[in-house]
Amino acid sequence: MSNRQTVVYRKDYKAPNHDVETINLVFDLIPDRTIVTSTMHVVPREGRESDEFELNGESLQLVSIKINGQPSLTNQYAMNAGKLIFHSIKEPTDIEIVTRINPKANLELSGLYLSNNNFITQCEAEGFRRITYFPNRPDVLAKYTVTLHAPKECKVLLSNGNLVDQGVLPDGRKYAIWHDPFPKPSYLFALVAGNFTVNEDKIELNNDKTALLQIYTEPGNENKTVHAMDCLKKAIRWDEVRYGLTLDLERFMIVATNDFNMGAMENKGLNIFNAKYVLADDGVATDSDYAAIESVIGHEYFHNWTGDRVTCRDWFQLSLKEGLTVFREQEFASDMLGSESAKVVKRIKDVRALRTAQFPEDSGPMAHPIRPDSYSEINNFYTMTVYEKGAEVVRMYQTMFGKEGFKKGLAEYLRRYDGSAATCDDFRTAMAEANDADLSQFALWYSQAGTPRVSVKTQWDESKKTFTITTRQSNRTLPGQPKPQPLMIPLAVGVLNDKGEDIPLQLEGEPLPVGTTRVLLLNQDVQTWTLVNVDRRPLLSLGRGFSAPVICDMDLTRDQLVFLAKNDSDLFNRAEAFEKLSILAIDAFIQELRKTQNANSLSPMEAYLATFEEILNDERLSPAYRAEILKLPSEQAIYESQIIIEPALIRAACQAMQKKIGQRLKTSFEDKVKTCTTEGIYKYDPDLAGKRALKFLSLSYLVASGNPKGVQQTRNFFEKGNNITDKLGALSIAVHSGLPIRQEMLNKSSIAWATEPLLINKWLEVQALATSVHGEMPVVNKIRSLMMDPLFSIKNPNNVYSLLRTFFAKGGPEFHTLDGSGYQLWIETVLNIDSFNPQVSARLARTLENWRRYEPRLSSMMYKALRYVSQQKNLSADLREIVDKAIN
Ligand code: PHE
Ligand code: ZN
């Protein structure tokens, strides 16, 4: 494990002195002593700074080095702090390096490791240096030929590219040779060897070639890859149609594994996936899992062009591939949804995730621009900011230039940089030049951290029939950063008249109105727009579709919010208005609880309940849309609306409000449970999924209000449901509401689900979100006992994320207990996991970083927990960076 404490700065980038044109890798795969023989053809670069050829290495045992076929002399190279440096490579040179590694002891899951006795690799960002010495940086692109030698039990031997040869060695072991014709950085290298079954299909490409598609899984899962294969074909087709981008390989492979730190990995031609983003059938995957699989399969496939064909020059440019690919994935997922109202649900969910996870990141100790300026551990920068805010920044190009303009810009970028490593500036410049635009100010989105605020004031002059919109942007000053500058912000707006209709928008000086939604392009601190011919009382609908990743402030009265929630033609903004109303209502409960510790006397205001009921019963709105907007804002979303976070108070307010809503709208909810129950065999389909979502939303309000019929129905869906969406939906309601039947349900599911890792994760996650019941074991203790359960393994990242990360991030008052027992568990698990998997411990540790925002009784204990961890010696560089930034 590395203990590097050095900070890397973007400004220090230097081009490498040498290229590696080809690399030939031979692996003798043995679980505890694999031998790797690497032969590189190294070529000095024109204009290089020196003749030193620098390679990285970590946890390697060096066996031998040959230079141009001759055993090397020790004065030809030096070994120093994880680096192997050849002093003088002035000519094209063949260097052979033999190393020995121990995949079996690799619990970091970076480099070559074992998963259920199968060999798997993970090389992004810096895992390749744990396989062999190599210039392990993304701007060194080589052509790979890979030979695998493996025990004869290994049924499947895979690497990137095309299969050149395979067979049996004289000693009975097996071999396979793979060649990848595309030059690639080492982080895209992959190998897989072991016992897998395969689901195969073919696809005709738009260049008349046929590609072989393969999905490899552990035996027993062969029938769970139908959905993933379907998604893969859709993704390939979509990239052809939308962007004219064709699969460039004869064969495209996906491998699923249960031991993976992240979601999935885009290795060229050989994507490796966390099993939860591949496997699906009615017994293991919920409606949301089906949708997530579609997105992740799309994401990794789209990387083939945006990431693999054009990669990143250095890791500071990570958002170049990730922001862009998340945007492409979102557009794909949205295009796969038929109706407008289904598409908007996807957008609402994405924006909610951004607001509840990226906004707090951007205002906390880990705040960084989408293109960071420094890091001490790159693995800590696979963040919501780089990915999701990065995607919003990419989306703004499309908002400014339209789909066609964006497509032109993307084509130009790929044309310029195909086969090479590029920067965020390169992308922006290609977009600007393809669209004849000046995007120099837009560059600030890449360098400025923090969520910009735009406050908006409007004024209607009834006699002049003018409506003026004044915007003022303000960006938070962050320590160590230059004074923030005004950004270029495309703000989509519409105007409703007093009948709730969109009016045609005509700016002063324009001969005619231009549409009913328009994009105002902000580029100064304060700006004013004047609309003319506005003859009835107008109301601004601001930031339609979330056109920019900013916080919009506009003083709206409750009545205006109700009006927008009922009438806005932009369904995204209707949801926004309703969410604001919900937060106002919850706030009232919070105030009441603060005064009386009992909110039972309070009821949400009439207008809110009436709007709720109207939306709930509005058959013109899809069930999916109604389910999404009528769900109470998540506790994390409420945290964002509060100055000081009081987890217990917020949970109590939510419970009280749910109860009131459940009592009041009982009949409507009962009706929805009945009419939204889907009959017949399970099928994933966004419309049916929407009905199931509305059914469970209604049920959760009924159960919260203590409705006995609701409780009975919860039990029924669990017992009789023919799909996991129903069973899990019912189980989570029971556990989260602390229903007496919950333990029986949990016992039953642990028996029925024990052999399915994916179901065990769900079982753990449900319990991480449990509510303590008076007189019974507190949830913290329950979590501790689950950690001792044979079904839980602390070595498995999915288990850790499902149980511990969920508990730390979303357990609310169950985690933030006044006796500090939650934080004690946090300390113990973070340190324990750090001793073998720093990437996971660092991600887990981030759950306390916003400690400053909590009520003092909690924040002082949170601080102490962070400080305690930071005082330990031998922390990984990953964890050290997180805890030190959090407390300093
Ligand atoms: N590059 C992967 C993706 O976003 C994520 C990943 C990063 C996976 C690092 C593993 C390790 O698609
Ligand atoms: Zn990605």
Question: Tokens 């700065």 — which residue?
Answer: 9
Average pLDDT over residues 847-865: 98
Does residue 818 belong to any structural domain of this protein? no
pLDDT at 718 over 50: yes
Nearest CA to ligand 1 atom 7: 124
Q: Residue 517 in 3-state DSSP?
A: strand
Tokens of 288: 């949301």
Q: ipTM higher than 0.95? A: yes
In short, whether 300's Cβ falls inside 6 Å of ligand 1 is: yes
Rounded to whole angstroms, how far apart are CA atoms 186 and 136?
Answer: 6
pLDDT of 611 reads: 98
Q: 872: which residues sit within 8 A by CB, 6+ positions away?
A: 831
Ligand 1 atom with the shortest distance to the CA of 382: 7
Nearest CA to ligand 1 atom 8: 265
**58 strand-pairing partners:** none
Pocket test for ligand 1, best of 108, 122, 124, 186 (most atoms within 8 A of CB): 124
Compute CA distances 598 → 592, 602, 604, whole Å.
Answer: 7, 9, 14
Q: How many folded domains does the chain comprise?
A: 4
Range with the largest mean pLDDT of 332-346, 415-429, 469-483: 415-429
Same domain assignment for residues 440 and 465: no
Look at residues 548, 564, 593 and tell me which one is the last residue of a structural domain: 548
Ligand 1 atom with the shortest distance to the CA of 326: 4
The kind and range of the H/E element at 201 are strand 197-204
Same domain assignment for residues 172 and 39: yes
Residues less than 5 Å from ion ligand 2, measured at CB: 322, 325
Q: 533-562, pLDDT tens digit by residue?
A: 999 999 999 999 999 999 999 999 999 999
In short, whether 577's Cβ falls inside 6 Å of ligand 1 is: no
Does residue 167 belong to any structural domain of this protein? yes
Cβ atoms of 40 and 142 closer than 8 Å:
yes
Does residue 715 belong to any structural domain of this protein? no
pLDDT of 678 reads: 85
In short, whether 120's Cβ falls inside 6 Å of ligand 1 is: no
pLDDT at 149 over 90: yes
Q: 226-263, pLDDT tens digit by residue?
A: 999 999 999 999 999 999 999 999 999 999 999 999 99
Compute CA distances 314 → 325, 481, 792, whole Å.
Answer: 17, 21, 38
Pocket test for ligand 1, best of 265, 274, 322 (most atoms within 8 A of CB): 265
Rounded to whole angstroms, how far apart are CA atoms 204 and 118?
Answer: 32
In short, whether 218's Cβ falls inside 6 Å of ligand 1 is: no
In short, whether 314's Cβ falls inside 6 Å of ligand 1 is: no
Alpha-carbon Rg for the chain, nearest whole angstrom, is 28
What mean pLDDT, rounded, does the chain reach? 97
pLDDT at 402 over 60: yes
Q: 734-755, pLDDT tens digit by residue?
A: 999 999 999 999 999 999 999 9
pLDDT-derived band of residue 341, with 50, 70 and 90 as boundaries? Answer: confident
Burial of 3 (0-12, 13-18, 19+ CB in 10 A): exposed
Same domain assignment for residues 328 and 435: yes
Look at residues 195, 217, 251 and tell me which one is the last residue of a structural domain: 195
Same domain assignment for residues 569 and 660: yes
Query: What ligand is nearest to the CA atom of residue 264?
Result: 1
Pocket test for ligand 1, best of 120, 257, 266, 843 (most atoms within 8 A of CB): 266
Q: 389: which residues sit within 8 A by CB, 6+ positions away?
A: 323, 354, 358, 362, 370, 549
Compute CA distances 667 → 603, 670, 672, whole Å.
Answer: 18, 5, 9
Burial of 686 (0-12, 13-18, 19+ CB in 10 A): buried
Q: Return left, alpha or beta for 172; rule: phi > 0 is left, psi -120 to 50 is alpha, else beta.
A: left
Q: Residue 463 in 3-state DSSP?
A: coil
Candidates 96, 218, 266, 300; catalytic one = 300
CATH (domain of 535): 2.60.40.1840
Other beta carbons within 10 Å of 610: 12
Look at residues 163, 178, 195 and tell me which one is the last residue of a structural domain: 195
Q: 285-324, pLDDT tens digit by residue?
A: 999 999 999 999 999 999 999 999 999 999 999 999 999 9
Q: 182-198, pLDDT tens digit by residue?
A: 999 999 999 999 999 99
Cβ atoms of 273 and 232 closer than 8 Å:
no
pLDDT-derived band of residue 567, with 50, 70 and 90 as boundaries? Answer: very high
Tokens of 71: 């055993």
CATH (domain of 324): 1.10.390.10
DSSP 406-445: HHHHHHHHHHHHTTEEE-HHHHHHHHHHHTT---TGGGHH
pLDDT of 340 reads: 86
Same domain assignment for residues 531 and 466: yes
Same domain assignment for residues 139 and 18: yes
Same domain assignment for residues 562 and 509: no
Same domain assignment for residues 541 and 569: no
Same domain assignment for residues 15 and 159: yes
CATH (domain of 177): 2.60.40.1730
Same domain assignment for residues 521 and 470: yes
Nearest CA to ligand 1 atom 1: 265
Other beta carbons within 10 Å of 153: 10
Rounded to whole angstroms, how far apart are CA atoms 118 and 493?
Answer: 54
Does residue 877 belong to any structural domain of this protein? no
Tokens of 32: 């505890």
pLDDT at 368 over 80: yes
Question: Tokens 């720093």 — which residue?
Answer: 838
Task: Quote the percentage of the chain above a pLDDT of 70.
Answer: 99
Same domain assignment for residues 579 and 543: no
**Segments forming the whole domain that contains residue 583:** 555-666
In the residue annotation, 300 being an active-site residue is answered as yes
Tokens of 66: 């040959």
Query: What ligand is nearest to the CA atom of residue 108?
Result: 1
Q: Residue 487 in 3-state DSSP?
A: coil
Rounded to whole angstroms, how far apart are CA atoms 849 and 868?
Answer: 14
pLDDT of 1 reads: 41
pLDDT of 2 reads: 43
Give the Å distance between the CA of 265 and the centre of ligand 2: 7
pLDDT of 481 reads: 75
Does residue 705 belong to any structural domain of this protein? no
Does residue 732 belong to any structural domain of this protein? no
Same domain assignment for residues 361 and 415: yes
pLDDT at 795 over 50: yes
Does residue 180 belong to any structural domain of this protein? yes
pLDDT at 3 over 50: no
Rounded to whole angstroms, how far apart are CA atoms 685 and 337?
Answer: 9
Does residue 832 belong to any structural domain of this protein? no
Q: 680-691, pLDDT tens digit by residue?
A: 999 999 999 999
Other beta carbons within 10 Å of 601: 8
